[in-house]
Amino acid sequence: MAHDIENNIPVHEETYQRISEHLVKFWTPQMRSDFYKHVTSNRDMFSETMNKVVDELRAKANA
Amino acid sequence: MTILSDPRGTMPMRSGIGEADFGTPKSNSEVMISVTIDGETHLVSEGTSVMRAAGENGCDIPKLCATDSLQPFGSCRMCIVEIDGRKGTPASCTTPVEDGMVVRTQTTKVAKLRKSVMELYISDHPLDCLTCSANGDCELQDMAGVAGLREVRYGMDGKNHLDAPTDSSNPYFSFDESKCIVCNRCVRACDEVQGTLALTIEGRGFNSKVSPGGLNFLSSECVSCGACVQACPTATLQEKSVIDLGMPTRTVQTTCAYCGVGCSFNAELRGDELIRMVPAKTGGANEGHSCVKGRFAWGYASHSDRITKPMLREKITDEWREVSWDEAIQYTATKLKAIQEKYGDNSIGGISSSRCTNEEIFVVQKMVRAAFGNNNIDTCARVCHSPTGYGLSTTYGTSAGTQDFKSVAHSDVIVVIGANPTDAHPVFASRMKRRIRDGANLIVIDPRKIDLVESAHIKADHHLQLQPGTNVAVINAIAHVIATEGLIDEEFVAQRCDPGPFNRWRKFIELPENSPEVVEAQSGVPAETIRQAARMYATGKNSAIYYGLGVTEHSQGSTMVMGMANLAMATGNIGRDGVGINPLRGQNNVQGACDMGSFPHELSGYRHVSDNAVREQFEMLWDVKLMSDPGMRIPNMFDNAISGEFRGLFVHGEDIAQSDPNTMHVEKSLKAMDLVIVQDLFLNETSKFAHVFLPGTSFLEKDGTFTNAERRINRVRPVMAAKNGKQEWQIVCELSQAMGYDMHYENAAQIMDEIAEITPTFKGVSFAMLDEVGSVQWPCNDAAPTGTPIMHVDGFVRGQGQFMETPFVPTEERSNRKFPLLLTTGRILSQYNVGAQTRRTANVTWHPEDVLEIHESDAAMRGIVNGQKIAVSSRIGETILTAEVSERVPAGVVHTTFHHPSSGANVITTEFSDWATNCPEFKVTAVEIRPADSSAAPTNTLESVLTKA
């Protein structure tokens, strides 16, 4: 699902923000938490943008 | 011979208990002119007929061939009048008023002529008034009384039609030809109102007769909309329910519970028994028209399958046990609380229904948020129009269609994308067809050759018969043509849209990858056809887009909605009559379900749960702490049930085991739960996995409101007592109270008052207001006290319109060697969704089973013939359907419906869904088919056939 979201949001300066907003706006906390864990252990499967989104969202969640 | 005439002796403007009939349509002119009728001078709108001018001012002119839903015809000669300065006695229906005109309607001369005309009519009409089913509701009978006819000089022993046969082939109405006066109203209603043109007048002179194309009604092109029955002034075309049960004596106005058109009906009763449903001329959505479902298919409400008592069982393998309401509510609450205690607050949730009223939906989501203490509330809109919400709110700022239905009358170019209005939204389709017959251009974008592509007096200018799954590629190609050929409305864009996103979109859409020539290879639509369609849309004075689930039920459903929204902004087709982006909602109250806060991330009025200010308002009003994070969507609930985290589900008026994709997955998740509560009319597929069954109410028992696809809030009034003894909102309140949250209302009106208090777009709405004005379209508030027929007139709800880039990302579900065909699903006229209602009516006459439409080349390749049982398999599952070899689908595409549980269409649909909303990709499933009697795995694949060739 995360790949689908990324594929449908074109790459430009707002991409990071849009993906981030989408995950916060529509995903349950549990889904986000599971996703962060998945990305962390499979970083190569995801783009640089998605890794950045997850790093920052996880940091916010832990703050 | 003595005439059995109406003893009232006066001519009513209405017959029976029906609505007033002014004989000819209302004039919309604002120019007022003066006319003197029978000595009194009146101001009337220019263009009004003399007949209507008289009727509107209390002077009723006799009529037979005239009715105000049809254009004047001038054939019956009953409405003749005398007009100063004019020769003879002109027909008042075909004569428009002129300024200073002096009309006399009741002279000796016209009275004598009317009496003679009536005498001729009656000389060939059965004199069985006292035993006729239309006695008391017959315009011929009324007119005989008005004309003062007492005797007929011409004997009945001459040539007549009194022995003409009766056609009873239609399950809902009969055609008694012996009573026909050949006034042409039925034929004109079929032409003008319905637009099917199934009826005609056969023969000439005395041998003239009404005919459904030389066939009986059932075998003909007739779609059983009932317009002819409603138009008939005698008992020639009569509802069988009236013939069997007698003429109704009272009426209750309410709203149909089928599709998102939301037709208003007068439920006509005799005592407490519903006799017939007659479309209301005052209905804002339908203006007196109906379809076979709303008009006739309401018998399910009294079907013997109805469950009217609560039932429980410990295990789904146990027998159901009838219990009292108290026991059912206490048991359910205790179990839900126990689950939460053991697995956490988040382990339960609910699904609300778009078939229910706004008030019922509002209390269900409130129960989940306030009593369950989480946001695990979702709605069946998840599987149909959730991408509409995402796409339109992102681009325009609100999750709703932009127009009212009347707007289509002002369209010059109509684009229908992924919708089949003549089957799924037939009453709106009639409006649309009327405009097309009057000259609007039509573009259809659909893999199937739907009726609108070519039918009586309708032919699409362009049919873009694209491959399923390529909507976004095609809409991008259309936008590419508009952008690269200088067809963008630069002034509109500069004034109304955010320049940054627009410039980015323009750069994106002009890329060669979006050109029609590239997209031709992806979609199968010739590049030149795309170019012509794009130019037609962009250069039309008013161009409108209407779309359905063929847009939303894709992996790029939300992207496609945004693509259409881009197109309308780029060409300035937003904010006035005749234009806009218009979702044709599948169920009666999809719009309302979304408005009422049924999504897990939104409170009523589309306000996000994370908005602290909004949430605080709800918390103060509801006296409870609310969660600020989104809850689970339906697919999340299923997945989490299988993983053991989600254990209890309240399913309100939905049959998810039949309607949702990948049935095996849905059933597995339902089996995994500790408690499934179903509230419905019938034991459905989902209830096979339920532990609690709470009987619901049909629309004929409900008190509340529905909101249709044009944002019109209509009253739903109880026509009969609730068969289960309670309104559904009461049951939800009782369950909520048993859960420990005190939710209480005295009546449904109080719930609407709360909705209005907490939802800005509903601020001006109340039952009292709706009872006074009939209906209103939201937003209805201080800024728009009479509602908002057309949105975004002076600016978008979000401020500036936001263009969104819409890259085409092909679905992962593709045809391949093993599954070489693409299956797409849809709806048929006579049936509705999972068929729970329509299968329990005579509508099964037309559609007793789901069939698989297949192109003749695909059928021939597999040795399949029409009517043969075939196995349809996907990577998910297999089902058996009957083949219907058809030219509607192109080679490589097959189509079916999902109205019958036995066909299990969703056994084969997949888990793929819209990237933004998880709306399932019902419209694209790769399948293979083979004769059902062949147990072998499919070997006759496209490849093998081609290899052999």
Classify residue B623 as left (phi > 0), alpha (psi -120 to 50) or beta: left
Query: Is B634 an 8 Å CB contact of chain A?
Result: no
- From the list B393, B56, B282, the residue with the least C-alpha distance to A26 is B393
Which residues of B are less than 8 Å from A5 in CB distance?
A: 915-916
Which helix (DSSP H) or strand (DSSP E) does residue B471 occupy?
helix B471-484
Query: Is B910 an 8 Å CB contact of chain A?
Result: no
The pLDDT of residue B864 is 96
Which residues of A are less than 8 Å from B469 in CB distance?
A: none
C-alpha to C-alpha distances, B375 to B370, B372, B600, B614, nearest whole angstrom:
9, 8, 5, 15
- From the list B13, B607, B657, the residue with the least C-alpha distance to B369 is B607
**Could you tell me which chain A residue has the CA closest to the CA of B601?**
A26
Q: Rounded to a whole number, what is the distance in Å from the CA of B469 to chain A's nearest CA? A: 15
- Decide if B555 and A4 are in contact by the 8 Å CB cutoff: yes
Query: Is B638 an 8 Å CB contact of chain A?
Result: no
First CA to last CA distance, chain B: 79
Q: Residue B236 contacts by C-beta under 8 Å, 6 or more apart in sequence?
A: B175, B176, B177, B179, B180, B181, B186, B210
Alpha helices in B540-684 (DSSP H): 549-552, 557-570, 590-595, 612-622, 634-642, 656-659, 663-672
> How far apart, in whole angstroms, are the C-alpha atoms of residue B462 and residue B532?
8
- Closest CB from A1, A8, A12 relative to B556: A8
- Decide if B916 and A25 are in contact by the 8 Å CB cutoff: no
Q: Token pair for residue B846? A: 């037309």
Which residues of A are less than 8 Å from B556 in CB distance?
A: 8
Query: Is B805 an 8 Å CB contact of chain A?
Result: yes
- Decide if A4 and B809 are in contact by the 8 Å CB cutoff: yes
Query: Is B600 an 8 Å CB contact of chain A?
Result: yes
On the CB side of B552, CA atoms within 13 Å amount to: 26
Question: Which ipTM was obtained for this model?
Answer: 0.89
Whether the bond into B779 is cis, omega within 30 of 0: yes
Q: Rounded to a whole number, what is the distance in Å from the CA of B630 to chain A's nearest CA? A: 5
- Closest CB from B346, B631, B915 relative to A8: B915
- pTM to 2 decimals? 0.94
Which residues of A are less than 8 Å from B630 in CB distance?
A: 25-28
- Decide if A7 and B915 are in contact by the 8 Å CB cutoff: yes
Q: Residue B542 contacts by C-beta under 8 Å, 6 or more apart in sequence?
A: B410, B411, B412, B413, B573, B576, B577, B578, B579
- Decide if B807 and A28 are in contact by the 8 Å CB cutoff: no
The pLDDT of residue B943 is 39
Query: Is B809 an 8 Å CB contact of chain A?
Result: yes
C-alpha to C-alpha distances, B427 to B223, B874, B940, nearest whole angstrom:
11, 35, 43
Cα dihedral value B750, B756, B759, B760, nearest 10: -170
Q: Residue B683 contacts by C-beta under 8 Å, 6 or more apart in sequence?
A: B305, B307, B320, B693
The pLDDT of residue A47 is 87
Query: Is B608 an 8 Å CB contact of chain A?
Result: yes
Q: In B, residues 471-510, which contact A (CB 8 Å cutoff)? A: 504, 508
- Residue B933: phi, psi to the nearest 5? -80, -5
Which residues of B are less than 8 Å from A31 in CB distance?
A: 636
Which residues of B are less than 8 Å from A29 in CB distance?
A: 629
Which residues of B are less than 8 Å from A24 in CB distance?
A: 610
- Mutation target to probe the B interface, by most B beta carbons within 10 A, among A4, A32, A60 is A4
> CA B779 from chain center: how many Å?
21
Q: Is residue B722 within 8 Å of B255, Cβ to Cβ?
A: no
The pLDDT of residue B15 is 52
DSSP string, B712-747: EEEEE--SS--TTSS-HHHHHHHHHHHTT-----SS
Q: In what order do the strands lie in the sheet with B173-176?
A: B166-167, B173-176, B237-239
Kindly list the residues of chain A whose beta carbon comes within 8 Å of any beta carbon in chain B: 1, 4-5, 7-8, 10, 12, 22, 24-31
Which residues of A are less than 8 Å from B633 in CB distance?
A: 26
Which residues of chain B have a pLDDT value below 70?
1-17, 934-949
> Between β-strands B101-104 and B821-826, what pairing exists: parallel, antiparallel or unpaired?
unpaired
- Decide if A30 and B346 are in contact by the 8 Å CB cutoff: yes
Q: Give the tens place of pLDDT for each residue, A29-52.
A: 998 988 999 998 889 888 888 898
Alpha helices in B270-420 (DSSP H): 292-296, 325-343, 358-366, 386-395
- Residue B581: phi, psi to the nearest 5? -120, 120
- Decide if B645 and A30 are in contact by the 8 Å CB cutoff: yes
- Residue B659: phi, psi to the nearest 5? -90, -20
